[in-house]
Amino acid sequence: MSSSEKRFIYADNAATTRISADVLDAMMPYLTTEYGNPSSIYALGRNSGFAIEEARAKVAKAIGAKPGEIFFTSCGSESDNWAIKGTLARLAPKGKRHVVTSVFEHHALLHTVQNCGYDYTLVEVDEQGLIDPQKVKAAIREDTAIVSIMFANNEIGTIQPIAEIGKICHEAGVIFHTDAVQAIGNVEIDVNEMNIDMLSLSGHKIHAPKGVGALFCRRSMIPKNLIDGGGQEGAHRAGTENVAGIVALGRAIELATADIPKKVARVSKLRDKLIGNILKIEHTRLNGDPVQRLCGNVNISFEGVEGESLLLSLDNEGICASSGSACTSGSLDPSHVLLSIGLTHEVAHGSLRLSISEDTSGEDVDYILEKIPPVISRLRAMSPLWERIKAAEK
């Protein structure tokens, strides 16, 4: 294969996304001329207030909810924290002091549950990264306050049977929350059809800026406040609104959910081309389910290679990606997600996540596929672990 000119390829859309020009245009007035505080009585303030309500309606429409069920927050993590902590604070006095979640949730959920001081059960996932709804059912107790299962996993992209899990929760009379930060714009979501009571989402994963998120919550289940103060968001979430961010989120979610089947059809084709071709390299494995998978997610382990050096090598080729290796997580252990689906530490250290988007072109995919094999060969050639793997084969 002839070597092409160095390009810049952003393949880390599960980490964050580019702010789209359309979204930037929509939010710009609220960073410049429309700076009024939405709580103010005069026209300048009212303009901001109207803009927020317009955005609220857009977010609601995107997931089949009512505007009154949408509360703006600062990010997905805040939404997760609020849903769990606020629900426990509300229901613990009524004897509901237990949470059911899964072992491979995002840390925003997992650490919240582990640190909140209440009882919890972590449901295991299978080797493909799928959750069996019956296991959720078995984990629900008399005193369960809330079940929280992520819609789609951020690392390996598996999409869970959310409607079925929601049905089980409702039959048991338990609140069902889902972290849909990765799913929004990639999966069609209807909170009513899918039996969802609470849902966390974030702007910066769908081409809005960082610093804005939302929690969908049924009116009868609003958690106790996480942030007290003024009367913003119906007195449920204090703090002067991030007007520009909220407007951006409204526009971004409108764009992201406009034609999901079309996006999924196009992007999953590119994803499958990446997966099929990368798996031709020996001693590799796909992490996560091949079918029940986010359209932009590729997660592959390369035996004998360490993830961070793989990322640095790809960065040298202009490719931005991420890994579940310990070195990139800042801890000794590799990703809890990869360990939860049964990978050994050795194999988990050598994982690569590429997350492509509607911005990714066929040429981008070809470029990535041209650059990965020599990078892997180079790192394996200097790896004593690879030497051992090859020696064991003989």
Partner 1 sequence: MLYSDKVLDHFSNPRNVGEIPDADGVGEVGNAKCGDIMKMYLKINGGVIEDVKFKTFGCGAAIATSSMATEMVKGHTIEEALSLTNKAVVEALDGLPTSKIHCSVLAEQAIKAALSDYYKKQGIDPEPIVGNIGECEACHDL
Binding-site residue positions for pyridoxal 5'-phosphate: 76-77, 154, 182, 202-204, 240
Q: Is 331 in the site for partner 1 (CB under 8 A)?
A: yes
Paired tokens of 204: 């910066």
**Integer-rounded Cα radius of gyration of the chain:** 22
Q: Is 349 in the site for partner 1 (CB under 8 A)?
A: yes
**Residue 197 or 306: which CB sits closer to partner 1?**
306
Distance between CA 149 and CA 213 in Å, rounded? 18
Distance between CA 114 and CA 91 in Å, rounded? 17
Compute φ and ψ for 355, nearest 5 degrees: -125, 105
Q: Which residue, among 318, 205, 222, has the nearest Cα to 257 in the 3D structure? A: 205
**Residue 209 or 324: which CB sits closer to partner 1?**
324
**Residue 54 or 346: which CB sits closer to partner 1?**
346
Q: Is 330 in the site for partner 1 (CB under 8 A)?
A: yes
Of the candidate residues 1, 93, 384, 394, the single one contacting partner 1 (CB under 8 A): 384
Of the candidate residues 305, 321, 365, 372, the single one contacting partner 1 (CB under 8 A): 305
**Residue 41 or 382: which CB sits closer to partner 1?**
382
Torsion of CA 194, 199, 202, 208, to 10 degrees: 50
Q: Is 282 in the site for partner 1 (CB under 8 A)?
A: no
Stretch that binds partner 1, among 221-229, 276-284, 310-318, 364-372 (CB under 8 A): 310-318
Q: Which residue, among 20, 9, 10, has the nearest Cα to 206 in the 3D structure? A: 20
The amino acid that residue 384 corresponds to is P
Q: Is 169 in the site for partner 1 (CB under 8 A)?
A: no
Q: Which residue, among 370, 375, 356, has the nearest Cα to 5 in the 3D structure? A: 370
Annotated binding site for [2Fe-2S] cluster: 327
Angle (deg, nearest 10), helices 307-316 and 362-381: 130
CB 383 to partner 1: min, Å: 4
Stretch that binds partner 1, among 6-14, 188-196, 251-259, 331-339 (CB under 8 A): 331-339
Q: Is 324 in the site for partner 1 (CB under 8 A)?
A: no
Distance between CA 25 and CA 21 in Å, rounded? 6
Task: Count CB neighbours of 291 within 10 A.
Answer: 8
Our answer to whether residue 75 is catalytic in this structure is: no
Write out the residues near partner 1 by the rule CB under 8 A.
Answer: 304-309, 312-313, 316, 325-328, 330-332, 334, 344-346, 349, 381-387
Catalytic residue numbers read 327
